[in-house]
Copies of this chain bind each other. A is one copy, B any other.
Amino acid sequence: METIKGRKDGYHHGDLRNALVGAAIDLATAGGPEAVVLREAARRVGVSPTAAYRHFAGQGDLLFAVKSHGQDALAVAMRAEIAASGAAAGSARAEADPGAAAVERTKAVGRGYLRFAFAEPGMFRTAFCRIAMPMDAETGQPTRDDNDNFSSFDMLSTVLDDLVATGRMSPRRRPGAEVAAWSGVHGLAILVIDGPLAMLRGEALAASVENVLETLVQGLCAQD
């Protein structure tokens, strides 16, 4: 007997949920969250629109799955950028000058975030799109965990801790540092992607990225 996946011939699809998510991911990648159209995803999979309701509560639920995927993809990109920076914890460079390496890791985290945003704007916007959380009628609380599963947030916390541990950042500034750092990079990403700073491209964009990262590190590591 064949594995359950991959059998598309019959009346039953076999792996419809994943197929729909895949199609929806393509839509989001190409056009952002507003392009995640349930009927179109079903069309691409070759199935009737209502079939999707056997696997998702509705369009919002499908979009939510894509959003989660986008958050994961972002975290992967950030992790890759840290590795590429050559300043990962335990690397030779980190041993030689832990403080400088911590700074470099901090910048790498931001650089990974922004690289992903500019390389995959549709998916980035989807990863941060507003979503109507299905509310539980009784408790009045969101049924699904607010999620924002952001493992990327943990990466940010870690490099900021390292900044303190190596003496680069005053412990006094540590509280709330995640918010300041996240805000800086996220703001640049959104402003460039959504229009206001769309004129930044190529070399100018790369310069802006480095400028924002440098300003952020300077602000976080200021002594007085």
Q: A-side interface residues toward B, CB under 8 Å?
A: 32, 128-131, 146, 148, 150, 173, 175-177, 179-180, 182-191, 194-198, 200, 207-208, 211-212, 214-220, 222
B188 engages A190 (CB within 8 Å): no
Residues of B within 8 A of A188 (CB): 179, 183, 187
Closest-by-CB residue of B relative to A224 is B218
Q: Which of B148, B217, B220 contacts A196 (CB 8 A)?
A: B148
Q: Which of B130, B183, B197, B222 contacts A212 (CB 8 A)?
A: B183
Give the complex CA separation of A186 and B46 in angstroms: 41
A196 engages B130 (CB within 8 Å): no
Give the complex CA separation of A215 and B184 in angstroms: 10
Given A218-B219, A222-B219, does the pair A183, B191 have CB atoms closer than 8 Å? Answer: yes
Give the complex CA separation of A41 and B181 in angstroms: 40
Residues of B within 8 A of A131 (CB): 195
Taken together, the copies of this chain in the complex come to 2
Give the complex CA separation of A187 and B113 in angstroms: 13
Residues of B within 8 A of A180 (CB): 184, 211-212, 215-216
Give the complex CA separation of A6 and B108 in angstroms: 59
Query: Nearest Cβ distance between residue A70 and chain B, in whole angstroms?
Result: 13
Give the complex CA separation of A127 and B192 in angstroms: 15
